[in-house]
Structure 1
Amino acid sequence: MTPTTAAASERTPSEGRRRLAAPTVAMLPRIADSLSFLYLDIVRIHQDDTGVCAEVTSERHGTQTVYLPTAALSCVLLGPGTSITARALATLARHGTTVVVTGAGGVRCYAATVPDSLTTTWLERQTRSWADDTSRLAVATAMYEQRFGRGTVPAGTTLAQLRGLEGQRVRAHYQLLARQYKIGRFRRAYDPASWDTQDPVNLALSSANTCLYGIVHAAITALGCSPALGYVHSGNQQAFVYDIADLYKAELTIPLAFSLHASSNPEAAARRSFREGLRLFKLLPRIVADIQHLLDPDTTYEVPDPEEQLVDLWDPIAGTVQAGINHGTDL
């Protein structure tokens, strides 16, 4: 028996279990592996000794406690009648979960998260391409081409022309779906002040888009990018969120909204259907891959392993050098 195996045999079973259960940085979930989102309303969310839980009270069942899988949850939507404690919010933030507070009309009011990825690699790429007008136009063009098909945007097309092409295609998409579901003429309308007077398709579309924004926001911040630095949208803290969300609306939220044209509760139906659909589309891995490809189209990247690269040091010549070591010998 070698000294190593002898030492191992002397460990108690409890010590072995403790060593196996000790968490490591590599155990943290990647954003691409996270669940989609959870919508809550008329509940109280708080932190107890076990974890974050939601208390649901009803006349029939009394008070029931449901624990939330915070470590594997990318986005939480807090609807009307929801209260949440500071400790619960802190736990969600530590796990990189986006928290979105919405009103009765699905109006996005607040979103915050802590990225799972601690590297600034993608933020630096985003900032460089956003700050240069030529690069910014190239990314915006790539976004339109991803939506409408490669090679559909002629060389030299201006951003104003791209917006015009987008408007024509989206309008034609609305008309096609309206004919398919036999609902007559449709016009996109979003007016939070007159929410209850809107038709079911508009209600469902706004509700599904709000869910989509939350998921996209979670993916963007988990990569370390800035939600505010948009390439098509501008002047809003969610500009990049709107940019990326637009890549998927024609495929996901718009057809879903039209399919709910006869629903008596289109908002709730849109949330449920959208969540179920995400199991098939695997949207989060797609968002991560699409953002990486848009910011660096020539190379395929994976989310960095946090145990291999926690932080780097900047160098004007080498670009980056290894951190966590003594560089005194370099002097």
Structure 2
Amino acid sequence: MTPGPGTARRKLAAPTVAMLPRINDSLSFLYLDIVRIHQDDTGVCAEVTSERHATQTVYLPTAALSCVLLGPGTSITSRALATFARHGTTVLITGSGGVRCYAATQPASLTTTWLERQTRAWADDTRRLTVAKAMYEKRFGPGTATDATSLDTLRGMEGQRVKTHYQLLARQYKIGRFRRAYDPASWDTQDPVNLALSSANTCLYGIVHAAILALGCSPALGFVHNGNQQALVYDIADLYKAELTIPLAFSLHASTNPEAMARRSFRTELRLFRLLPRIVTDIQQLLDPENKYETPDPEEHLVDLWDPVVGAIPGGINHGLET
């Protein structure tokens, strides 16, 4: 029986996983606070209520967002959260201004290819040190981490280089001596540079977290940082701070609202630096430097069976029927 034209049109219009943007192609992030997020017949929308403008509704491009940061005063329905999950959008629960990350969602339909590579590299002390050295050389140039360099030495070298970077920018912007400080208990008393740096870094952490989850890796298994559920997030974010967040924070030394300015300026710079594709590529190169890989195909087999002799075998098959 030949399908009718109506059936053919429905098949063509039916959405598939492959239609969704890859993490490389997604928009960066969206920070929301004091809004109600829900799902209606059209899509996911945020309702903003104020005395001046009453209630305004803004629809969110869920399939094109890499992560959404939900600040204080935000409520979200289960239907809206389910839509974010289907589209692979990471949802982060943050503090005011996105300064702290308390929880995050992870898309469920992911291959474990990169998680397995990460786990093997993390569990082997030699390979773990190799990845840590590769991270250092991505920041400071090839050859800066010699074969004899230990992890303790790397940490000391990194600390000195970052301190020198702070001193150079402080002289450039004529703000005198600068000391990095992060104290949530006395947040409002900190200087504009520290406020802007903390705010921009948290946005950076959110984007890196989203990229790590989109690849299916574990944010908790870091190579330099350790003992925290965001250890790998801090590792990868450190690759870009000297280029992005630190110069931005010093440029806002005279701002009256450095936190908001840092978020807006950082979002603009992300488009110029095309950061998301860089994050994905850098993680892949660090975990498997001998090969070149693209982001896993969403149409590939998502579930295999493990066999100690032949390796992975296809899932979703009744192997009892085999003779």
Report TM bin, short chain. over 0.9
The answer as to whether partners of 2:85 and 2:108 remain within 8 angstroms in 1 is: no
> Which residue number in structure 2 is paired with residue 297 of structure 1?
289
- Corresponding position: 1:308 with 2:293: no
Please give the TM-score of this superposition, normalised by the length of structure 2.
0.94
The answer as to whether partners of 1:100 and 1:108 remain within 8 angstroms in 2 is: no
CA gap 1:43/1:121 in 2 versus in 1, 3 angstroms: same
Q: How does 1:1-331 map to 2 (within 5 A)?
A: 7=2, 11-12=4-5, 14-104=6-96, 106-115=98-107, 118-327=110-319
Secondary structure at the counterpart of residue 99 of structure 1: strand
Q: Aligned-pair RMSD on alpha carbons?
A: 1.8
Q: CA deviation at 1:293?
A: 0.4
The answer as to whether partners of 1:99 and 1:110 remain within 8 angstroms in 2 is: no
Instruction: Tell me how far apart the structure 1 counterparts of residues 8 and 97 of structure 2 sit (CA, whole Å).
Output: 53
CA gap 1:322/1:214 in 2 versus in 1, 3 angstroms: same
The answer as to whether partners of 1:116 and 1:222 remain within 8 angstroms in 2 is: no
Q: CA deviation at 1:167?
A: 0.5
The answer as to whether partners of 1:35 and 1:74 remain within 8 angstroms in 2 is: yes
CA gap 1:329/1:83 in 2 versus in 1, 3 angstroms: closer
Instruction: Tell me how far apart the structure 1 counterparts of residues 298 and 163 of structure 2 sit (CA, whole Å).
Output: 44
CA gap 1:263/1:116 in 2 versus in 1, 3 angstroms: farther
The answer as to whether partners of 2:69 and 2:98 remain within 8 angstroms in 1 is: no
Q: CA deviation at 1:46?
A: 1.5
Instruction: Tell me how far apart the structure 2 counterparts of residues 210 and 227 of structure 1 sit (CA, whole Å).
Output: 15
Comparing 283-292 with 24-33, greater Cα deviation is found at 24-33
The answer as to whether partners of 1:129 and 1:295 remain within 8 angstroms in 2 is: yes
CA offset digits 1:26-51 (Å, max 9, x no partner): 22321111110001122111122222
The number of equivalent residue pairs is 323
Instruction: Tell me how far apart the structure 1 counterparts of residues 12 and 321 of structure 2 sit (CA, whole Å).
Output: 38
Instruction: Tell me how far apart the structure 1 counterparts of residues 321 and 183 of structure 2 sit (CA, whole Å).
Output: 64
Q: CA deviation at 1:325?
A: 4.1
Instruction: Tell me how far apart the structure 1 counterparts of residues 266 and 321 of structure 2 sit (CA, whole Å).
Output: 57
Percent identical residues? 82
Q: CA deviation at 1:328?
A: 5.0
Q: CA deviation at 1:159?
A: 0.6
Secondary structure at the counterpart of residue 205 of structure 2: helix
Comparing 84-93 with 155-164, greater Cα deviation is found at 84-93
Listed as ranges, the gaps of 5+ residues in structure 1 are none
Q: CA deviation at 1:105?
A: 5.9
Comparing 314-323 with 242-251, greater Cα deviation is found at 314-323
Supply the AA of the counterpart residue of 1:60: R
The answer as to whether partners of 1:113 and 1:218 remain within 8 angstroms in 2 is: no
Instruction: Tell me how far apart the structure 2 counterparts of residues 243 and 175 of structure 1 sit (CA, whole Å).
Output: 23
Comparing 114-123 with 174-183, greater Cα deviation is found at 114-123
Instruction: Tell me how far apart the structure 2 counterparts of residues 17 and 327 of structure 1 sit (CA, whole Å).
Output: 36
Listed as ranges, the gaps of 5+ residues in structure 2 are none
Instruction: Tell me how far apart the structure 1 counterparts of residues 233 and 171 of structure 2 sit (CA, whole Å).
Output: 30
